[in-house]
Amino acid sequence: MPHGPAEVGVGPWEGPWPEGEQYDAALLAEGDRRNVVDRYRYWTLEAIVADLDLRRHDFHVAIENWQHDFNIGTIVRSANAFLAREVHIVGNRRWNRRGAMVTDRYQHVVHHPDVPALAAHLREQPGGPVALWGIDNLPGSLPLETTDVPRRVCFLFGQEGPGLSGPAREACDATFSIAQFGSTRSINASAAAAIAMHAWVRAHADLSGVDAWRG
Ligand SMILES: C[S@@+](CC[C@H](N)C(=O)[O-])C[C@H]1O[C@@H](n2cnc3c(N)ncnc32)[C@H](O)[C@@H]1O
């Protein structure tokens, strides 16, 4: 079976149950079909979040949400995969969770009424201020590919159509573009978010340890 089993997850625990507060009795009894890495099989949601909190990376992700952007869910999912410290939603509190595939439960998702509120939140972070980088291919944006990504940074993304709003552009320390070579004016915002997060991973993440999950 070169591509692994078709069924996701594991069945009921076989044999004597393991001891530890992290284990969820219902999952041990009935099986764990959640989309979580093997390390967290049979763990409670709270135990998983607590463990992730010990290892979260120093980057944040933010997206403007003035028109219920459908990309937010998939950005949250990538933020979980790459282990962002926080995900920030600027504007409307409501967003379509479908693309998140439940990963929002494992992330700290913070709402802000506007970009200045986000910027203030980032300035007050434990350990010192976090830089706010707008990611958009605007005139004057610097190339992300040839820029050193700081450890403490929040990547801010705009919406389909308008891109980063005027107030967002003003609040950012600078804006950065992802090089394109085809005919389309832009890529999807969640694709751009994954690229930016992975640029941070390539620069700063510990890729040598067991924490780097590769399936
Ligand atoms: C579909 S784009 C919209 C606007 C885009 N500036 C345009 O001219 O069409 C939505 C969001 O995706 C991100 N994005 C898309 N393509 C990008 C690129 N090449 N470089 C950086 N960000 C990009 C940005 O955050 C942008 O605000």
- Is the pLDDT assigned to residue 205 strictly greater than 90? yes
Domain annotation covers residue 115: yes
Asked whether residue 79 falls in the same domain as residue 172, the answer is yes
Please say whether the beta carbons of 159 and 69 come within 8 A: yes
Domain annotation covers residue 160: yes
**Residue 179's pLDDT is what?**
98
What domain count does the chain have? Answer: 2
Asked whether residue 185 falls in the same domain as residue 197, the answer is yes
Q: What's the domain range around 177? A: 59-204
Between the CA of 136 and the centroid of ligand 1 the distance, in Å, is 5
Report how far apart the first and last C-alpha atoms of the chain are (Å, whole number): 15
Domain annotation covers residue 211: no
Question: DSSP label at 181?
Answer: -
Number of the ligand 1 atom closest to the C-alpha atom of 163: 27
- pTM of this structure: 0.94
Asked whether residue 69 falls in the same domain as residue 51, the answer is no
Asked whether residue 42 falls in the same domain as residue 64, the answer is no
Asked whether residue 27 falls in the same domain as residue 97, the answer is no
| Bridge partners, residue 143, by sequence | 177
Asked whether residue 41 falls in the same domain as residue 104, the answer is no
Distances from the Cα of 197 to the Cα of 84, 94, 135, angstroms: 8, 24, 11
What's the whole-number average pLDDT of the chain? 95
pLDDT in tens, 148-202: 999 999 999 999 888 999 999 999 999 999 999 999 999 999 999 999 999 999 9
At residue 211 the predicted structure's pLDDT band, cuts being 50, 70 and 90, is: confident
Asked whether residue 117 falls in the same domain as residue 36, the answer is no
Q: 3-class SS at 176?
A: strand
**Residue 186's pLDDT is what?**
96
Asked whether residue 66 falls in the same domain as residue 44, the answer is no
Number of the ligand 1 atom closest to the C-alpha atom of 180: 19
Calculate the CA dihedral of residues 67, 77, 142, 68 and round it to 10 degrees.
0
Asked whether residue 38 falls in the same domain as residue 132, the answer is no
Domain annotation covers residue 130: yes
pLDDT in tens, 88-105: 999 999 998 888 999 999
**Residue 68's pLDDT is what?**
74
Number of the ligand 1 atom closest to the C-alpha atom of 158: 27
Domain annotation covers residue 213: no
At residue 69 the predicted structure's pLDDT band, cuts being 50, 70 and 90, is: confident
- Is the pLDDT assigned to residue 137 strictly greater than 80? yes
**Residue 2's pLDDT is what?**
63
Average pLDDT over residues 113-120: 98
Asked whether residue 102 falls in the same domain as residue 180, the answer is yes
Q: Which residue minimizes the CA distance to atom 25 of ligand 1?
A: 157
Between the CA of 58 and the centroid of ligand 1 the distance, in Å, is 23
Question: DSSP label at 106?
Answer: G
**DSSP string over 65-104:** ESS--TTHHHHHHHHHHTT-S-EEEEE-S----GGGTTGG
Biggest distance spanned by C-alpha atoms of the chain: 62
**Residue 12's pLDDT is what?**
98
